[in-house]
Structure 1
Amino acid sequence: MLEVSVPSIDRPFGVYLWPLFDAAWEKVMGYPAHDFDFVPGKTPMSTVREVVAALVTYYIVIFGGRAIMKNFSPLKLNFFFQVHNVLLTLLSLGLLLLLVEQILPIIVRHGVFYSICSHGAWTQPIVTLYYLNYLTKYIELIDTVFLFLKKKPLNFLHYYHHGATALLCYSQLVGHTSVSYVPIVLNLTVHVLMYWYYFLSARGIRVWWKEWVTRTQIIQFVLDLGFVYFASYTYFAFHYFPSLPNKGSCAGEEFAALFGCGLLTSYLFLFIAFYAATYKKAGKKVANRKVSNGSIAIDPKFTSEDLKSLKVNGESTGAKVAANSPRSRKV
């Protein structure tokens, strides 16, 4: 039943979402969500062999598909692309709200350190949501399928990030890292924004915050690394270098901590490089286009000395300079 109340620590949205999710899970799976248990080797997509097979298939499909599409015209898949992005927007939003509902009480009652480093923060409902989030990473691989079917370029960051993220989520699930909720919650937040932008773009709607999609991804990785580095540092310092200052041990397997730190670090550098190459380069192209068209706009606040420093005139460039004067209005 839907019970609405005043927002509280246990019901931050005024509605207790977990029972609704539990009932929906039972209708689909035949058993309640609170009975779910992630067991490597028994749960679907819970073994290294399954993960590797899925990712190898992914790369064969996208590179093989791109080669095949060279002989065909781009497919018009705008409707299906819109549906895909709306579904991922809603799925990301739903998982985000459910995770916030589970994690907020832990943070408020036990503190941030407990939430990222205690085995007590690795609860059954949270693991269930982690597992669903992990499965969505395979659904997101369809993003790349749309790209090669529409004959769009496949850049390294795109297919590296998609494949590696599925592997990252798997490693944290089997590694029982309590700090996982930080990257997952931030990633879901970014994906709500990102997939909604893709949907609007497919609808032909231009938005002013396009650049902020990449910016939020970079901010996400900076925050991720702050928490993950801290959790990893205090674990290794406590166990191997006790003379160093630390906060004690931290929940999670060592391989998961090291893999998470390495992969998230690579994401940060790659996304910064992508941002610089995409938006800075685009800015230069706009500036060059204005010059080539012969319409250079000069800020009215510029002084005559500023204009001289630009070394731009009609004889040397063939361009007309617009200044804040009667002559410029005539031009």
Structure 2
Amino acid sequence: MLIKVVQKFMENRKPFTLRYPLILWNGALAAFSILATLRFSVDPLRSLYVEGFYKTLCYSCHPNDVAAFWSFAFALSKIVELGDTMFIILRKRPLIFLHYYHHAAVLIYTVHSGAEHTAAGRFYILMNYFAHSLMYTYYTIAAIGYRMPKWVSMTVTTVQTAQMLAGVGVTFMVYKVKSEYNMPCQQSMANLYLAFVIYITFAILFIHFFVKAYIVKSAKKSVKKD
């Protein structure tokens, strides 16, 4: 609703430039994501080394651990990142479905997972922090005005797509532990099904975006040149 209201407000107005606010915005989120990746990664890596894969997958971090703070910071960052959409609308740039669906769905799922202390969230959070480290760094450099080679944006999109496919893989492993092996795992079936829906739809949308942005466009440019 807010997207439609602001788009209506901007309908007959000139787009805002917002260059410096955009540089600061993306730069701050890039710095946050990089720091969070480095700090949060200690928890699942240590857990994998000390406790093994099963406990890391099926038992969440202790609520007093540093990882719990960065999990909470992750949830808050999903609210902050909604501002990305406002920058697009105020600058009157194309707003694709993938963008706002991704932001809304991740926020909803993060809140649901946080309420349940979903154990597999360790992997979901770390993957997202890492992907956003690359993404917001790329956006910051682009906002400054530096035109990067095509392979850089392709790499960022590839990492995002790989994150979604890995999310499907992690969710499937939890499903097998709970259904086939009948072992306890700290993730409700409702949260598990929600993760399946979100990660599968994300994977499809990101693959579609990759094909459309890099393969179809490249093919069209080649035809024009010929």
Task: Report TM bin, short chain.
Answer: over 0.9
Distance 1:207 1:275 in 2: 17
Deviation by residue 1:53-85 (Cα, 9 ceiling, x = unmatched): xxxxxxx22221112211001111010000000
Map residues 282-321 of structure 1 onto 2, 5 A cutoff.
282-291=217-226
User: In 1, distance between residues paired with 2:6 and 2:107?
Assistant: 21
Gaps spanning 5+ residues in structure 2: where?
A: none
Corresponding pairs, count: 223
> Structure 1 residue 124 and structure 2 residue 55: aligned?
no
| Amino acid in structure 1 at the alignment position of 2:156 | V
TM-score under structure 1 length normalisation: 0.65
- Give how far 1:102 is off: 2.4
User: What is the Cα deviation at residue 221 of structure 1?
Assistant: 1.1
In the alignment, the residues of structure 2 paired with residue 118 and residue 141 of structure 1 have an alpha-carbon distance, to the nearest angstrom, of 30
The answer to whether the 8 A contact 1:122-1:178 is kept is no
Instruction: Work out whether 1:228 is the aligned partner of 2:171.
Output: yes
Equivalent position to 2:40, from 99, 104, 122 = 99
Spell out structure 1 runs of 4+ moving beyond 4 A. none
The alignment partner of 1:137 has SS state of helix
TM-score by length of 2: 0.94
* More relative contact order, 1 or 2 (CA 8 Å, 6+ apart): 2
Q: Taking every aligned residue pair, what percent have the same amino acid on both sides?
A: 26
Task: Give deviations 1:234-289, integer Å, cap 9, x for gaps.
Answer: 21x1xxxxxx4x27221122221111121111111111111111112210221122
1:211 and 2:146 matched:
no
- Give CA-to-partner distance per residue, 1:200-247, whole Å, 9 cap, x none: 111111223111111111111111111111112221x1xxxxxx4x27
Q: Which runs of 5+ in 1 are unaligned?
A: 1-59, 238-243, 292-331
Give the Cα separation in 2 of the matches to 1:175 and 1:261. Answer: 17
For 1:113-152, list aligned pairs within 5 A: 113-119=54-60, 121-125=61-65, 126-152=67-93
Greater helix percent: which structure?
2
RMSD over aligned Cα atoms = 1.4
How far apart in 1 are the matches of 2:188 and 2:69?
19
